[in-house]
Amino acid sequence: MRNAVVIAWDWTIVWRSEFDGIMDVLMKRYHQVIKKLCCSLALWFGLGVMAHANFPWETVKYNGVDYVTLRSVKDFYYFNKIRYGAVITMESPGLAMEVRPGTQRCRMNGVLFILSYPVIEQNGRYLLSRTDLNKLVDPIMRPTYIHSARHFNTVVLDAGHGGKDSGSLGPYENEKVYTLRVARLAREILQKKGYRVVMTRDSDISVSLENRVRIANRYPDAIFISIHFNSSNSRANGIETFTISPVGVPHMGREVKLRDFNTVPGNSMGSASIALATAAHSRALMYLNNQSTGNNFSIEDRGIKRARYNVLTGIKIPAILFEGGFLSNRNEAAKIRTPAYQQTLAVAIARAVDIYKKSTAK
């Protein structure tokens, strides 16, 4: 049941080159896995990796949260080695996962993910929450196992804000202008690839969050990508991508509330959404920082994060909210205003759609 881990390699987060060496890694891992593959045909009911009855997960309950040891994560995914220190690294050829105990930071092949719970140390053992294992690590490592990911040919592009709602204010243009530009550019590329594209707005009009959700939910066999640009203090910079918080996990940066334990429509697509977020975020970083093409915008990775924005909680198809840089930062706003930056984001979004589709195909 575990051999699908090899599939991850044609889509996730291969940092330096999209294709070089991937087939090599694939084949080596495939042979290695086949050798070790247990004979059991335990069925997969979409319950997450814990459902694998034959794997001896080391589990620990601490402060009401279920954890697994990093050692069992290493064994389950066939990492060759694990190195302990201020940063714990697990490695195999072509694959590296890093966590910092005491923090929620996790890097997989260089891309930053913000975990739902910190990695903790207890009695000499390092622990990863079961939520992070099931809702983050597993869908990324084994996208073909994502039960909720369906075949699709429609992409709903959501240009954030519009009309009276300008979004973040920038020194050149405001957020609503750039979100629509990037959405239109992405639409053009996606249509050439043969996708049907639905726009939640295609002009400078106000569309309520409820209507954006309603539009998306008209297309059960589609994916949803919301495009935004950020605002904060003048120094904040970089891109970040949000997906729905798992049940029991709050909106980024705020305390957990009782209602966070309610299942929302977006949770039904949680695993598919994190896969889509990974594809979009990693491609955007890769293409924006690609020195070989001359498109080196030196963009920071702020990570893939969890949130409870309306468009993420209410939408019943795989959904992400992508923040393409800070308009409150003059230096970054100057990059965002260039056609090259906008086109690069559009290319990355369109490529991510292909990668997500291919990697989750059953």
Provide the minimum distance between the beta carbon of 249 and Zn ion in the complex, in angstroms, as a whole number: 22
Rounded CA-CA distance 48/139 in Å is: 9
Size of the residue set binding Zn ion (CB under 5 A): 3
Contact code string over 151-180 relative to Zn ion, x by CB under 5 A: ---------x------x-------------
Q: Smaller CB distance to Zn ion: residue 318 or 324? A: 324
- Asked if 143 touches Zn ion (CB under 5 A), the answer is no
In the complex, least distance from residue 210 CB atom to Zn ion, rounded to whole angstroms: 16
Which CA distances in Å does 214 have to 1, 176, 223, 249, 318? 38, 20, 13, 25, 14
Task: Decide whether 117 or 178 has the Cβ nearer to Zn ion.
Answer: 178
Structure tokens at 84: 């302990």
Minimal CB distance residue for Zn ion: 228
What's the CA gap between 23 and 17, in Å, rounded?
Answer: 12
Our CB check for Zn ion shows the closer of 195 and 309 to be 309
Taking a C-beta distance cutoff of 8 angstroms, is the pair 15, 286 a contact?
yes
For the bound state, the minimum distance from the C-beta of residue 167 to Zn ion, rounded and expressed in Å, comes to 4
Binding of Zn ion at residue 316 (CB under 5 A)?
no
- Per-residue binding letters, 198-237, with Zn ion (x by CB under 5 A): ------------------------------x---------
Of 167 and 266, CB closest to Zn ion: 167
Find the DSSP H helices in 128-231. 130-132, 138-141, 175-192, 209-217
The SS3 call for residue 238 is coil
To the nearest whole angstrom, how small is the minimum distance from the Cβ of residue 226 to Zn ion? 8
**What percent of the residues of the chain are helix, what percent strand, and what percent coil, each to the nearest 5?**
40, 25, 40
Closest CB 157 distance from Zn ion, rounded Å: 14
Per-residue exposure over 75-85, b if at least 16 CB sit within 10 Å of its own CB, e if not: bbbbbeebeee
**Which CB atom, from 66 or from 165, has the smaller least distance to Zn ion?**
165
Buried b (16+ CB within 10 A) or exposed e, 127-145: bbbbbbbbbbbbbbbbbeb
What is the SS3 assignment for 151? coil
Quick one: 160 or 314, whose CB is closer to Zn ion? 160
User: From the CB of 227, what's the least distance to Zn ion, in Å?
Assistant: 9
Instruction: Kindly state the smallest distance separating residue 14's Cβ from Zn ion, in Å.
Output: 30
Residues that bind Zn ion (CB under 5 A): 160, 167, 228
